[in-house]
Structure 1
C-alpha cells in the first residue's frame, strides 16, 4: 500500500513539474526570441532561423535603439522617451501610493457619514474603462494648463490609479484590530500619530504590492501616453510604437527587438528584485481576509 502511494506521489509530482516546465517554456519563448534576435546583425537574421543563437554578442542594435533609431521624423532613439517615462512614473507611483494609503486608512478606520458611499464611487472607478475619461480629462488638463506635459500625465495617472490604491489599502486596513486603535486613542494618539506610528510600520506588504502594481500600470501605459502627451513628453511606450512603425528600406528586426527589451526592462527588473515582496503582500492580504 505504501509503495503504491509513493509511486502515485512521484507520478503526480512529475506531472506537476512537467506542466510547469511546459508553461515556462511557452511563456519564455518570445523573450528568448527577442533577446537572440537583438544580438544578431541583419545578415544573421536573414540567413539563420528565428531561434538560432547568434554567432557572437553584437550590441549594435541596442545602441541604435537607444540613441539613433528613427521614431518618425526624429532619429534620437528611445533615450528621450525613456527619461520621460522615468520622470512621469516615479512621482506618479509614489504619490498615488501615499494617497491611496491615506484614503484606505480613513475609509477603513476613521469612518464617517457617507464614507461607504464614497468608497462605492471609488470602487466604480476601478471598473470604469479609461476610454470614457479621455475627453473630459483632456478638457480638465486644458483648463489647468497642463496639456501635452509630463505634469499632466502625472496628474492623469494619479487620478486613474487612485481607485485601485485606495481599494488595496482599505481592504488591508479593514483587518487591523479596532482595539489597537482604541488603545492608542486612550493614550492620547491622534489621527496622524496613529497613522505614522502604528499603521505605516505594519503596511510594508501592501505598500510593496501597490508600488509594483502602480509602476507596472503606469510604465506600460500607452493610451494616456498617446492621448495626453506632446512632442517633448511622450513616454517610452509611444516611442516604441513610433519606432516599430517607422518605415525604412530594410526592416531592422534586431533594432525593434532591442527597443522592446529596453522598454520592458524596468518592469522586468522590478519583478525580479521585488517579486517576492509582491507575493508576500498578496498572501498577507489574503490571510488578513
Structure 2
C-alpha cells in the first residue's frame, strides 16, 4: 500500500509539473495582454493587472501594423479561414477514398502506391519548397489561393491516406463482402457503408489537418502570396517589426488570438480525438 501511495504521488507530481510547464507561459501571456505598457515596465511578469484593459486586444485585432498594412490580425484570420476550409475538406475526402481503395479493393500496384505514400510521409517539406515554387510558377498558381491549397493537399495526402487505410483495414471484411454480394459497387459501398462508419478517423484526421494548416508558417509565407497571408505570417510581421516601441501587451494578445482556433479545436473535440485513437484510428 505504501509503495502504491508513493507511486500515485509521483504520478500526481508529474502531472502537476507538466500542467505548470504549459500553463505558466499562458498565464503570463494572458495577464500581460491586459496590462498597459507602463504597468508592464514597472511590475513583475507574474503580477495580476492592476487595471485590466482590452485596448491591446482591440488594437491587435483591428489596428496593429502587420507589415505595410495596419488592419490587425483580423485580415490574416479570414485569410487563414479561407485557406483552411478547402485544405481540410479536400485532403480528408481524397484520403478517405484512397484509404478505402487501398484497404479493400486492392487495385493493381496498390502495394507500390502505399509504399510511395509511406516514403512521402517522412520526406521533410523543406526539401520540396524550391521544386514546388518552380512548378507552381510554371503553371501560374504561385502566390495564389489555389496554389497554397494545393500545397497543403499534397503534403497532407501521405499521412491522411495512411490513417484512413489503417482504419479501414481494421473493419470487418465480411461487411464488404456482403455489400459486394448485394450488388454494391465501389462508390455505393463507400458512401453508404464505409463513410458512415468513419466518424472516429474523420475526427482524428480533421483535428490533425486543421491544426497543421492553421499553425503553418513556412508554406503560407512561401506560397500564399501577399493577398492571402495567413494569420501566422501576419503575427510574425507584427512581432518582429523594428520600428517604434515594442508593445508586449499587443504582441501577447495577437499571439493568443492566432492560437485561439487550434486551442478551441482541441478543447471542444479532445474527447472525440481520444475516442478516435482508442477506436483504432491510429495504429
TM-score (norm 1): 0.94
1:14 lines up with 2:9 in the alignment = yes
Q: Provide the C-alpha distance between the structure 2 equivalents of 1:263 and 1:49, rounded to a whole number of angstroms.
A: 25
- Deviation of 1:186 after TM superposition, in Å, equals 0.7
Cα distance between partner residues in 2 of 1:208 and 1:144: 34
- Alignment partner of 2:120 out of 121, 125, 136: 125
Q: Residue deviations 1:76-131, cap 9 Å, x none?
A: 11111111000000111011111110010001111022100001111111110111
| 1:137 Cα deviation from its structure 2 partner | 1.1
User: Is residue 2:165 matched to residue 1:165?
Assistant: no
Paired with 1:178 and 1:228, the residues of 2 have a C-alpha distance of 42
| 1:53 is the counterpart of 2:38 | no
Structure 2: 5+ residue stretches without partners: none
Stretches of 4+ aligned residues off by more than 4 angstroms: none
Task: Note the residue ranges of structure 1 that are not aligned, 5 or more in a row.
Answer: none
CA distance in 1, matches of 2:151, 2:124: 14
Q: 1:42 aligns with which of 34, 37, 43?
A: 37
In structure 2, C-alpha distance between the alignment counterparts of 1:218 and 1:188, rounded to whole Å? 39
Aligned residues, how many? 283
> Which moved further from structure 2: 67-76 or 33-42?
67-76
Q: Which position in structure 2 is the counterpart of 1:218?
A: 213
- CA RMSD of the aligned region, Å? 1.3
Instruction: Give the Å deviation of 1:185.
Output: 0.8
Q: How far apart, CA to CA, are the structure 2 residues paired with 1:279 and 1:176?
A: 19
Give runs of aligned pairs for residues 1-289 of structure 1, distance below 5 A.
Answer: 5=1, 7-285=2-280
d(CA) in 2 for partners of 1:44 and 1:151?
A: 45
TM-score, scaled to structure 2? 0.96
